[in-house]
Structure 1
């Protein structure tokens, strides 16, 4: 039987819905904000919003300084590199390519877990990954699988592939506390450490965009409201909920929920464009959920050994 508690499912669903919104908004902002500038403004604003709750992390007595190497990596993988690569991918790659390649995350999660964290995937997890990937493919091809034959690789596809691999490493890292006391950290301080360090990494990347003359931003009420949304929803809320979800389900099972992002992206885009859901959306949803249920059964048990934490 599935091991997922309802709060865990809720956390992962909310995170994926908000990240779907981030993909939609990111495409809407193409031409108004350059990709790395968008990431820098997003995380700088997120850090300011979180500062009243997480400021203690910067005190000399904070455990951040004893774990600085770990958080330099968490900030780079989960906040800095992933989001820069995602926005770069949206500049050149099609929605089908970006989200289909991103849907390979459960496969990468299983591979990284086996290669670096001594958690061998079970047959049910592998089966769930395949079933879920079929569901994602149905969404992205709108039920016409023959359209896969016309797909062409572009630079953005390589960006999102790298981003997906880095996110898999990030998810495994947050599932394994770096010290015996880390799981007792207040959630705001744990998240603040990642957001602030990720912002600093992003500003480093932003320096290259500025130096090459590609940085730009057009501020108006519309773009400002969209940036505020991605700074609060897909940033602070999603990252907090993803950490809770990984804590409850383990990184491999949580990765299957990420396959809902293309479906939610298609539905949100449809609502904005006035395109109602189709029958293939329901079929895809059923397959993705089936993949989640299959992967989270007790027989897949490699995630049972993931220690709990409180991100």
Structure 2
């Protein structure tokens, strides 16, 4: 696995957080208009249809996808079915800024999974970078008041996004495992669509459970249609493409720290579209998160 961060790779790993920050803001705007699990299903169903003209060969009986269906079922569950659905669910009780800041715990999840399951060697700068990012998470969870941590009162959204972050960390490690058919691995659209084949099924199952559990409704209109178009093209297709390339080039550990740029972009977008201005403790959290990126990205 190549562990080198080039300017081009840094750009790729920056585009994804920017689009995902927009996804968090959009999810907040859609709260109350589209149920969270349904929003996730519609997003990926649209993205799959957009990719289908160039990836329809994956669905043929002799496709190399089917012998590897177990792997892509897991990737689809973690990256498509779980991560975004849990994020949209979290946004019902939390703000985009808080959701993205809590997700800054990803380096800790990434390091933990890497050491436990993927033979990753733990280095001092990875540990220091992870501790800085975790400190940023603690700052936002405490709202800048450390006494709050003693009470340990997390809103449901905080829990959902922590589970989502763990799922994404495992998904990112699985991305770099060898053994995928060359026809799929060598075609980015096919690789993403292979995950969507099963991911759309997972997200559809979760959406069906959502409608079966309680009455739901969708407030159809131009805002919903525009939101679906954005989250299907930007945070889904473009961001996943950039993230997959970035992870393959720089490795999961370094890439995970770039994901912590999402709160920076979420703060700006939340101020612009939601009127949720950052507070002083958010600035402290930002500084800690960026410090984690700098420390981890430095060459030994």
- From the superposition, tell whether residues 288 and 63 of structure 1 become closer, same or farther in structure 2 (CA, over 3 Å): same
Q: CA deviation at 1:278?
A: 8.1
Structure 2 gaps, min length 5: none
Q: Distance in 2 between matches of 1:106 and 1:9?
A: 17
Tell me if 1:155 matches 2:132: no
Alignment match, 1:303 = none
Correspondence for 1:308: none
Call closer, same or farther: CA 1:157–1:275 in 2, change over 3 Å.
closer
1:89 maps to 90
2:71 alignment counterpart: 70
Separation in 2, partners of 1:49, 1:11: 22
Cα distance, 1:56–1:180 mapped onto 2, change above 3 Å: closer
Query: How far apart, CA to CA, are the structure 2 residues paired with 1:158 and 1:287?
Result: 22
Tell whether the 8 Å contact from 1:71 to 1:193 is kept in structure 2 after alignment: yes
Moved more, 83-92 or 96-105: 96-105
- In the other structure, the counterpart of 2:221 is 220
**Cα distance, 1:214–1:162 mapped onto 2, change above 3 Å:** farther
In structure 2, C-alpha distance between the alignment counterparts of 1:183 and 1:20, rounded to whole Å = 29
1:126 and 1:234, CA in 2 relative to 1: closer, same or farther beyond 3 A?
A: same
Distance (whole Å) between structure 2 residues aligned to residue 80 and residue 95 of structure 1? 20
Q: Which residue of 1 aligns with 2:123?
A: 122
* Map of 1:39 onto structure 2: 40
Structure 1 gap segments, 5+ residues each = 300-311
Aligned partner of 2:6 in structure 1 is 5
**Contact 2:96 2:266 (C-alpha < 8 Å) held by counterparts:** no
**Following the alignment from structure 1 to structure 2, what is the Cα–Cα distance between the partners of residues 286 and 153?**
23
In structure 1, how many angstroms separate the alpha carbons of the residues matched to 2:176 and 2:67?
Answer: 19
Q: Which residues of 2 match residues 201-220 of structure 1 at below 5 A?
A: 201-220=202-221
1:132 correspondence with 2:109: no
Checking the alignment, whether the CA contact within 8 Å between 1:127 and 1:294 is kept in structure 2 is: yes
Query: CA offsets, 1:221-268, max 9 Å, x none?
Result: 111101110011001001111101101111111111111111110111
Aligned-pair CA distance for 1:129: 1.5
State the alpha-carbon separation in 2 of the partners of residues 34 and 281 from structure 1. 29
Q: How does 1:268-279 map to 2 (within 5 A)?
A: 268-273=269-274
Query: CA separation in 1, counterparts of 2:72 and 2:198?
Result: 7
Give the aligned partner of residue 268 of structure 2.
267
Look up the match of 1:307: none
2:294 corresponding residue in structure 1: 293
The answer to whether the Cα contact below 8 Å between 2:28 and 2:96 also exists between their aligned partners in 1 is no
Contact 1:3-1:297 within 8 A present in 2 as well: no
Q: Is the counterpart of residue 80 in structure 1 residue 112 in structure 2? A: no
Q: CA deviation at 1:48?
A: 0.8
The aligned residue for residue 104 of structure 1 is: 105
Q: Give the 3 Å change call, closer, same or farther, for CA 182–277 of structure 1 in structure 2.
A: same
* Displacement after TM superposition at 1:92 (Å): 2.5
Question: Which stretch of the first structure deviates more once superposed, 257-266 or 152-161?
Answer: 152-161
Which residue of 2 is the match for residue 48 of structure 1? 49
Matched with 2:253 is: 252
RMSD: 2.6
Aligned length: 297
Aligned to 1:309: none
Matched residue, 2:175: 174
Deviation at 1:20, TM superposition (A): 0.3
Distance apart, 1:189 and its partner CA: 0.6
Judge which range, 279-288 or 239-248, deviates more: 279-288
Per the alignment, residue 190 of structure 1 pairs with 191
> In the aligned structure 2, how far is the partner of 1:279 from the partner of 1:91?
24
